[in-house]
């Protein structure tokens, strides 16, 4: 399962890249608005920073024709751009208009299995079922992902499934069990997946004990090993 970051914050992206786990990026108009930057400048910076991995950027028109026009413009920004379209009648119309043009698409705001079926049948590159927002409304988000993956497997759809709207590390674990191709999550959740007080406590013990080891000052200089190799 690939890890995408759901953010437009440059510093968060740089940290995830440094850890070597980042395989893509998703954004939406709300996420972009938080950064207070010109959209085209920010979009270009994001694509360059995350390249060669995909970056999802969302259209904001309400008509299929308008969405398709915006999608073509956004897609021309960089080779790794993926255009987010809403999973509604106009979004599906835009998806149809873009067929054969080489525009990669992410059908977003999926809250039902039937929406997912139509988006996959329409040839979306990615689909994004929203787990957290669905569970906020009292429905089982994980069941939605399981159903989508079962149908995906049965009919061999080429679309990749991005589990989105993630609230905590436990959801990431449960999503991984479904076989979903991708999970996209806020940096705070990614950080929580990695940090553990038991790891910190045991590491402190190991490092404190290391202070008792004779010759520790020269332990990592490699001199003796090099002498053996050359002997």
Domains and CATH numbers, the chain: 2-194 (3.20.20.70), 198-230 (no CATH)
The pTM (predicted TM-score) of the whole model is 0.92
Residue-level pLDDT, tens digit, the chain, 231 residues: 999 999 999 999 999 999 999 999 999 999 999 999 999 999 999 999 999 999 999 999 999 999 999 999 999 999 999 999 999 999 999 999 999 999 999 999 999 999 999 999 999 999 999 999 999 999 899 999 999 999 999 999 999 999 999 999 999 999 999 999 999 999 999 999 999 999 999 999 999 999 999 988 888 886 565 555 555
* Burial environment of residue 101 by CB neighbours within 10 A (0 to 12, 13 to 18, 19 or more): exposed
Q: Quick one: CA dihedral 82, 83, 84, 89, positive or negative?
A: negative
Active-site annotation holder among 37, 84, 212, 228: 84
Whether 84 is catalytic is: yes
Buried b / exposed e along 196-227 (16+ C-beta atoms within 10 A): eeeeeeeeeeeeeeeeeeeeeeeeeeeeeeee
């Amino acid at each position: 399962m690939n890890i995408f970051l759901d953010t437009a914050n440059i510093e968060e992206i740089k940290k995830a890249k440094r850890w070597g786990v980042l395989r893509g990026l998703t954004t939406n108009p709300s996420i972009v608005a938080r950064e207070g930057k010109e959209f085209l400048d920010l979009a270009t910076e994001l694509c360059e920073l995350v390249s060669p991995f995909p970056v999802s950027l969302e259209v904001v028109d309400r008509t299929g024709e308008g969405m398709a026009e915006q999608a073509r413009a956004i897609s021309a920004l960089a080779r790794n751009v993926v255009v987010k379209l809403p999973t509604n009648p106009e979004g599906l119309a835009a998806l149809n208009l873009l067929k054969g043009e080489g525009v990669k698409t992410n059908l977003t705001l999926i809250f039902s299995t039937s929406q997912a079926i139509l988006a996959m049948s329409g040839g979306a590159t990615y689909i994004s079922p929203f787990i957290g927002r669905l569970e906020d409304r009292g429905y089982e988000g994980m069941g939605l992902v399981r159903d989508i993956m079962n149908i995906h497997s049965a009919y061999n759809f080429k679309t990749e499934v991005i589990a989105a709207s993630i609230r905590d590390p436990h959801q990431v674990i449960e999503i991984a069990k479904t076989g979903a191709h991708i999970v996209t999550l806020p940096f705070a959740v990614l950080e929580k997946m990695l940090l553990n007080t038991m790891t910190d406590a045991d590491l402190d013990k190991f490092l404190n004990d290391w202070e008792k080891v004779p010759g520790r000052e020269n332990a990592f200089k490699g001199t003796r090993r090099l002498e053996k190799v050359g002997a």
